[in-house]
Amino acid sequence: MPTVSMTVNGKAVSAEVEERTLLVSFLRDSLGLTGTHVGCDTSQCGACVVHVNGDSVKSCTMLAVQAEGANVTTIEGLASGEELHPVQKAFREHHGLQCGFCTPGMVMSAVDLLQKKKSPSEAEIREWLEGNICRCTGYHNIVKAIQAAAGAM
């Protein structure tokens, strides 16, 4: 089995994995970072979104070995200690989450959007979130939260 090494949430990690191991399985099973969720098996739901070298990526669409040497940020690495990232804060203030299962992917995806576009319109936010499915919130408060976070960042 190959050994894979990368930086996850600022920490160098290394582990032996089967070649077929997905990045999401590596994060969850090898590193115990269970904040990244698996909600489907067709790369549609977006619950597993993390950042790889700064860009949002569905971690079920890439193999762990493809992330060799990469800089990976998961939901666990977003806040500074107990101080939430502005997007996390805005999700809380605006009730942008209910069951919390899609939330990590939703937040990581939103953070990437705001990195790429400072004040996206409602339509742009909704289009960006096309790859993140939420069954609870109806998206209304997620959109509001992202707009509020854009103002705060």
- Binding footprint of other proteins on the chain (CB under 8 A): 18, 20, 28, 33-42, 44-45, 47, 74-76, 78-79, 84, 88, 91-93, 95, 97-104, 107, 122-123, 125-127, 129-130, 132-144
- Distance separating the N- and C-terminal Cα atoms of the chain: 43
Residue 104 or residue 112: which is nearer to other proteins going by CB? 104
Q: Is the dihedral of CA 134, 111, 72, 78 positive or negative?
A: negative
Helices 86-93 and 103-116, packing angle to 10 deg? 120
Residue 69 or residue 127: which is nearer to other proteins going by CB? 127
The residues, ordered by sequence, that sit 6+ positions from 32 with a Cβ below 8 Å of its Cβ are none
Closest distance of CB 122 from other proteins, Å: 7
Residue 69 or residue 153: which is nearer to other proteins going by CB? 153
Closest distance of CB 32 from other proteins, Å: 9
Residue 6 or residue 96: which is nearer to other proteins going by CB? 96
**How would DSSP label each residue in 64-113?**
GGGGTT-EEE-GGGTSBTTB--HHHHHHHHTT--SSSSSHHHHHHHHHHH
CB 105 within 8 A of CB 19: no
Closest distance of CB 97 from other proteins, Å: 6
Closest distance of CB 139 from other proteins, Å: 4
Residue 6 or residue 33: which is nearer to other proteins going by CB? 33
Cα of 120 vs its chain's centroid, Å: 19
Closest distance of CB 45 from other proteins, Å: 6
